[in-house]
Amino acid sequence: MDRSAIERVAMISLHTSPLDQPGTGDAGGMNVYVVEVARRLAARGIAVDVFTRATRSSLPPVVPVEDGITVHHVHAGPFEGLTKEELPGQLCVFAREVLRAEAAQPLGHFDVVHSHYWLSGQVGALARDRWGVPLVHSMHTMAKVKNEALALGDTPEPAARVIGEEQVVEAADVLIANTDLEAKQLINLYDADPGRVEVVHPGVDTTLFRPLDAAGRAAARRDRGLPADALVLLFAGRIQPLKAPDVLLRAVAELLERRPDLRSRLVVPVVGGPSGSGLDRPTSLANLSAELGIDDVVRFVPPVPQTDLAGWYAAATLVAVPSYNESFGLVAAEAQAAGAPVVAAAVGGLTTVVRDGHSGLLVDTHEPHDWALALERVAADPTYRDRLAAGALDQARQFSWEATAAQTLAAYERAHRIMRAPLRLPDERNR
């Protein structure tokens, strides 16, 4: 490329806006990822334009978020009532509007396209060829991986998504994987070129998610109506089968059968809202807690801002992440940065984020009995819990958004070096 550095990035996050509240709908770790990487790139003097689909008519077309970051709300399809599964039908109009926005700028406005999730990758591939700049793609989740570890009652990802992901893998100049395991999955399941796969760990905002002293933890509990001596087993995330909050509730029921003496102190906050197939049965988790006879210890909390979530981590005895799959596991990373031990499923990126026996425990099944034993081991032994809490802080030091942004920028620059010749669109061939 002519310039010595990347100056402007087009980020495409079609199905969920970085301005949305994580923990409900389709908003989650990917939203946090896009915002935090954009912020760190902007701090390096790189302008970032994020294109996302408008979901309300009241949203302004362009929102300057902070210095160097602009969010574009693209009109594509009805504002409300459109599920993620229906979004492929809006790819053409979304892509048209993205290309139109760039066409209003001077030639060579963007230096790179970074797409997030396969839907965005489809648009990114078109933009790549139109603009003559490289496409860097982050999968975040993959259909083939999800279908191999499908949660009970969840719906398999459709064949159309699998095909779409294969096309994006083929089109991208560089693929960013969250972990070594995800890189192997891209290569083995999607036939990705190993030379075009870069492993870049997501990070943690350690200025927000940080350990508190005893007085700070006591205040965090008091502010959330939690007894000072409570054993707080926290779940934070979207309520859907993939995230497996039901596994935690069933394990809590078994734990109380084993240790009825813990009941007077046990509190199980479930922080988040229904998402995905969980929207079909929004009350199922509350119904389950009643059926299990543990509704006296379970507390349902709507999604909260990141600043409030940090307080929940600080108030927790442990954080449970029983997901059937996670490409990384930001909740686990954030919890550890706040000094909370994590009990997590030994799946996907969680095996990278959580160091078994050091920062928490990894459970290699989703059986309530196994989870109950793991929860009891951490919650009922203060000495062991304190040792894991110290290990959690140590483990969290591996993950920073500054490092993520630096490695992402290096991936952008590498994409320029290895970019294959762009395909010429029909209206450009005779120019």
- Write out pLDDT tens, residues 224-250: 999 999 999 999 998 989 999 999 999
- As a whole number of angstroms, the distance between CA 33 and CA 21 comes to 13
pTM of the model: 0.90
- Give the model confidence (pLDDT) of 354-382 as tens digits: 999 999 999 999 999 999 999 999 999 99
286 assigned binding-site residue: no
DSSP symbol at 227: -
Q: Where are the beta strands (DSSP E) in 75-212?
A: 112-116, 135-138, 174-177, 197-199
30 assigned binding-site residue: yes
11 assigned binding-site residue: no
236 assigned binding-site residue: no
313 assigned binding-site residue: yes
29 assigned binding-site residue: yes
86 assigned binding-site residue: no
Q: Which CATH entry fits the domain spanning 214-397: 3.40.50.2000, 3.30.1490.20, 1.10.340.30, 3.50.50.60?
A: 3.40.50.2000
190 assigned binding-site residue: no
316 assigned binding-site residue: yes
77 assigned binding-site residue: no
398 assigned binding-site residue: no
- As a whole number of angstroms, the distance between CA 395 and CA 335 comes to 11
CB 183 within 8 A of CB 199: yes
- Pairing between strand 112-116 and 69-74? unpaired
- As a whole number of angstroms, the distance between CA 68 and CA 45 comes to 7
Dihedral over Cα of 382, 383, 386, 387: its sign: negative
102 assigned binding-site residue: no
Contacts of 123 (CB under 8 A, 6+ apart): 12, 14, 51, 91, 94, 95, 98, 115
pLDDT at 24 over 60: no
412 assigned binding-site residue: no
Per-residue pLDDT, 29: 77
243 assigned binding-site residue: yes
Superfamily of 8-203+401-418 according to CATH: Glycogen Phosphorylase B; (3.40.50.2000)
- Tell me how far CA of residue 396 lies from CA of 153, 181, 338, 364, in angstroms: 33, 19, 9, 22
Domain with CATH 3.40.50.2000 in the chain: 8-203+401-418, 214-397
- Give the model confidence (pLDDT) of 175-199 as tens digits: 999 999 999 999 999 999 999 999 9
Token duo for residue 336: 């550890």
